[in-house]
């Protein structure tokens, strides 16, 4: 795939101006966000926003009038026709997930120096449990080194519109969205990296369930819990793994082993199992269950998995197909072992059906429809902790 020809900033500003009314309409229909008086900056700004669902850049575009360049992962620009036009019309700053971000950082600085604005979601991934995911210390270094105004933006409630195991949107309204703080370059220069990091983390932090306890706002979960087992596959009653199936209207999952059920209400809270009211509760129990099994030397296998190698521009070629298994040392498929000691943290994609990992200098992708591959990420974390 050849990179599209780059044009002057004015070209992308014009296209963005044409699209901004569409972004505002999307923000209104998807998130219930309508902004009467959007802000305009007469200087380049770096906007740092929290990330709760795929279209949340439209919320930012509704609140801030300026043309902005988006920082996106190269998975987005590799997404077929959509990716191609997104790349051609918006000239996003591309970063590769799981690899060095240096190229992206240089590009961000260059666009700001040319007078543009840049929108970055420093979390990089959306949450599985409703709480913001971690922000890397490199974000604070970047905020200090751009030497321009840094604006923090926070939206909350998006978790219930697109929890991470889905790749479609539920209907509902955000709890809130807006600019949190503006930091001048002088202000940032006086703070240490740690102080800047603490401020950014605090500005962007969201705990979806804690806020929902206050708002109690209903959501229309389009397919209920249909896809939740892509991430949550431990029965909260008997702790069996991979025994849950969706039942009836889709708002209940039931365990094929113990018969225990868990039902979700229109606010996103669970009922039917003592101590499991939110995804946070369920996740804690699930991680505990995985770890206990790993400690006992019980690892997981998955049949019918396809392994691809991932090249430049996210092109992939099939390497193997069959049983995929995890051990304390690494992943195995097609007679090859991919050792953890040569790996960085694997990443879950596409709601849970795909997992990307890097081994040595090569990136790989494994894929299986309706699988819950997350336990392999947890296996990696457990094995790394043990080796410390
Ligand atoms: Zn059970």
User: How confident is the model over 351-373, as pLDDT tens digits?
Assistant: 788 999 999 889 999 999 888 89
Q: Phi and psi at residue 175, in whole multiples of 5°?
A: -70, -45
164 and 123 in one domain? yes
Higher pLDDT among residues 191 and 104, named by residue: 191
| Ligand 1 centroid to residue 254 C-alpha, Å | 8
| Ligand 1 centroid to residue 382 C-alpha, Å | 24
146 and 43 in one domain? yes
pLDDT of residue 129: 94
**Tokens coding 75:** 């998975």
376 and 290 in one domain? no
| Ligand 1 centroid to residue 68 C-alpha, Å | 49
For 114-123, the pLDDT digits (tens) are 999 999 999 9
| Ligand 1 centroid to residue 261 C-alpha, Å | 8
95 and 234 in one domain? no
314 and 255 in one domain? no
267 and 363 in one domain? no
Q: Phi and psi at residue 270, in whole multiples of 5°?
A: -95, 150
pLDDT of residue 348: 87
| Ligand 1 centroid to residue 384 C-alpha, Å | 29
| Ligand 1 centroid to residue 286 C-alpha, Å | 12
pLDDT of residue 1: 44
Higher pLDDT among residues 135 and 248, named by residue: 135
pLDDT of residue 350: 76
127 contacts 49 by C-beta, under 8 angstroms: no
| Ligand 1 centroid to residue 379 C-alpha, Å | 22
- In-domain check, residue 3: no
380 and 320 in one domain? yes
| Ligand 1 centroid to residue 61 C-alpha, Å | 45
pLDDT of residue 203: 98
Is 80 exceeded by the pLDDT of residue 342?
yes
End-to-end Cα spacing for the chain: 41
Nearest to 111 by CA among 58, 71, 83: 71
- In-domain check, residue 220: no
Q: 318: domain range?
A: 301-387
- In-domain check, residue 4: no
Please give the average per-residue pLDDT across 191-203, as a whole number: 97
316 and 284 in one domain? no
260 and 311 in one domain? no
pLDDT of residue 160: 96
| Ligand 1 centroid to residue 239 C-alpha, Å | 6
CA dist 312 and 127 (Å) reads 27
Q: 3-state class of 191 per DSSP?
A: coil
200 and 69 in one domain? yes
Is 80 exceeded by the pLDDT of residue 253?
yes
- How many distinct structural domains can be found in the chain? 3
| Ligand 1 centroid to residue 48 C-alpha, Å | 42
352 contacts 242 by C-beta, under 8 angstroms: no
CATH at 101: 3.40.1130.10
- In-domain check, residue 196: yes
| Ligand 1 centroid to residue 242 C-alpha, Å | 9
261 and 199 in one domain? no
Q: Phi and psi at residue 316, in whole multiples of 5°?
A: -125, 150
- In-domain check, residue 1: no
pLDDT of residue 379: 96
> Which distant-in-sequence residues (6+ apart) come within 8 Å of 365 by Cβ?
307, 308, 309, 310, 316, 349, 354, 355, 356
């Amino acid at each position: 795939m050849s990179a599209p020809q780059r044009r002057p900033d004015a070209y992308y500003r014009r296209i963005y101006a044409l699209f901004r009314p569409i972004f505002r309409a999307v923000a209104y229909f998807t998130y219930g966000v309508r902004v009467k008086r959007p802000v305009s900056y007469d200087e380049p700004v770096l906007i740092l926003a929290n990330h709760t669902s795929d279209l949340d850049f439209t919320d930012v575009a509704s609140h801030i009038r300026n043309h902005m360049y988006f920082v996106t992962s190269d998975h987005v620009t590799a997404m077929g026709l959509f990716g191609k036009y997104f790349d051609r019309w918006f000239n996003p700053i591309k970063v590769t997930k799981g690899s060095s971000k240096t190229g992206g950082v240089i590009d961000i600085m260059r666009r700001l120096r040319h007078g543009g604005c840049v929108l970055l979601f420093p979390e990089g991934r959306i949450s599985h449990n409703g709480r913001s995911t971690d922000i890397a210390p490199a974000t604070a270094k970047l905020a200090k080194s751009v030497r321009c105004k840094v604006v923090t933006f926070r939206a909350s409630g998006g978790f219930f519109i697109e929890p991470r195991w889905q790749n479609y949107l539920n209907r509902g309204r955000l709890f809130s969205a807006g600019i949190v703080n503006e930091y001048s370059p002088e202000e940032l220069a006086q703070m240490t990296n740690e102080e800047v990091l603490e401020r950014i983390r605090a500005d962007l932090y969201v705990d979806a369930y804690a806020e929902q306890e206050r708002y109690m706002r209903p959501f229309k979960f389009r397919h209920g819990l249909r896809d939740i087992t892509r991430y949550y596959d431990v029965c909260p009653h008997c702790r069996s793994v991979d025994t849950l199936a969706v039942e009836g209207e889709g708002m209940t999952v039931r365990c094929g082993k113990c018969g225990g059920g868990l039902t979700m209400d229109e606010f996103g809270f669970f009922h039917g199992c003592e101590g499991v009211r939110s995804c946070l509760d369920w996740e804690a129990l699930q991680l505990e269950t995985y770890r206990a099994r790993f400690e006992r030397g019980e690892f997981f296998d998955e049949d019918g998995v396809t392994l691809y190698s991932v090249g430049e521009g996210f092109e992939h070629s099939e390497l193997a197909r069959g049983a995929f298994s995890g051990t304390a040392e690494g992943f195995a498929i097609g007679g090859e072992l991919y050792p953890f000691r040569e790996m960085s943290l694997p990443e879950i994609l596409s709601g849970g059906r795909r997992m990307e990992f890097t081994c040595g200098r090569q990136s790989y992708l494994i894929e299986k429809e309706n699988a819950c591959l997350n336990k392999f990420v947890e296996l990696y974390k457990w094995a790394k902790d043990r080796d410390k």
